[in-house]
Amino acid sequence: ETGVTQSPTHLIKTRGQQVTLRCSSQSGHNTVSWYQQALGQGPQFIFQYYREEENGRGNFPPRFSGLQFPNYSSELNVNALELDDSALYLCASSLQGIVGTEAFFGQGTRLTVV
Amino acid sequence: RKEVEQDPGPFNVPEGATVAFNCTYSNSASQSFFWYRQDCRKEPKLLMSVYSSGNEDGRFTAQLNRASQYISLLIRDSKLSDSATYLCVVSGDSNYQLIWGAGTKLIIKP
């Protein structure tokens, strides 16, 4: 096991609602990245947090927002949910916000928007 | 053109055979390359990093060809437990971003 935990594991929401997903990073890791993985696709980078600040962002609208806490755990918030937001949301924990360091993934949160 | 392209498969391969995957990427500035493995309905797990000189880890060999902008993964003596989706990952323009292929599904048959 990686030591990265996500909650909840499954979630069903109605279009227009808001959702908060949570991620606890591996001990000693100060960076959390969030990804969206649609069925049959590779993960798409949403954003990364390094030492409580957003360190970079992918091509996602502002209704996708996040936070990182002093203990390096993180939240992903999605407002005004759309049907296309249905996906597996993965968080990855790593040491430093530098590509090339190994990232460990949580088991993901499967979000269904109806 | 997608930034990272992989043959989606599935590759149906008998146990014990050798199988190879290729992955092409579009950004010539990419510096880091990885292969991840993802089992059905599970999270991706790092299989191996890919180094410029090529590298081997047991039955797995990874190669990088910067001139042609592709990376490869070779699996020798395939096992039933190798059945999974293999994701090619490259770094983007920024040092924080990873760009993922859609994955190649491998099915090892007894």
* Interval A24-53: pLDDT, tens: 988 888 889 999 999 889 999 999 998 899
Whether B98 and A100 lie within 8 Å, measured CB to CB: no
Q: Is A56 on the interface with B (CB under 8 A)?
A: yes
Chain B residues contacting A, CB < 8 Å? 4, 8, 31-32, 42-46, 49, 87, 89, 91-92, 94-103
Q: What is the 3-state secondary structure (H, E, C) of B30-76?
A: CCCEEEEEECCCCCEEEEEECCCCCEEECCEEEEEECCCCEEEEEEC
Q: Which two tokens stand for residue A76?
A: 């992903």
Backbone angles phi, psi at B85, to 5 degrees: -100, 130
Encode pLDDT of B75-89 as tens digits. 999 999 999 999 999
* Banded pLDDT at B91 (limits 50, 70, 90): confident
Q: Is the pLDDT of residue B36 over 60?
A: yes
Q: Which tokens is B68 given?
A: 């042609």
Average pLDDT of every residue of chain A: 91
Among A37, A49, A99, most B C-beta atoms within 10 A, so best to mutate, is A99
**Is A62 strand, coil or helix?**
coil
Given a contact cutoff of 8 angstroms between Cβ atoms, the answer to whether B58 and A59 are in contact is no
Q: What is the pLDDT of residue A94?
A: 84
B43 Cα distance to chain centroid:
15
